[in-house]
Amino acid sequence: MSFYNNETSFDILVLEKIKFNLRRSFSNSIIRDLEITKYKNHLLDSIVYDISGFFTAHRAWTDEKEFVIAETWFQEFKRVYFPNWLKRKFPVKYKRYFTEIKYYTVCPHLEIPTNEYEKEVHLAFLKQRPLIINEEN
């Protein structure tokens, strides 16, 4: 008895190797404090590069946000799939989380040596509260 079908057809799939490039540009003032960490991610069998550094910034304001989520996966299941009459009998239990969100104005040009007028312009920019277009309330 044969497990193979005599009428099997084969398709040819042509694959190409495509070159890609990653490029990041950093000013000289940022490079002084730049930290690059390379490590191997064994789970994904890949190499990860973490790049971190510092900017001159001003904390413009802070907000507190409240997040309300279902207490457990089963509570979320009840919220999504239970009919309203059953949710009235067995209400969904929620947890409340509060987090502080910090907003900064960032000016990387301040680190570059300039004349006094340009420094004042950059410092004035840092004092302004930025305009947020898609702010959710």
Residues with Cβ within 8 Å of 92's Cβ and at least 6 positions away in sequence, in order, are: 70, 75, 76, 78, 79
Q: Which of 57, 52, 55 is nearest to 34 (CA)?
A: 52
Predicted pLDDT of residue 13: 76
Distance of alpha carbon 131 from the chain centroid: 20
- The pTM score is 0.41
Mean pLDDT score of the chain, rounded to an integer?
79
Q: Is the pLDDT of residue 116 over 90?
A: no
Mean pLDDT along residues 62-67: 89
Residue 2, φ and ψ in degrees, nearest 5? -105, 140
Q: Is the pLDDT of residue 24 over 70?
A: yes
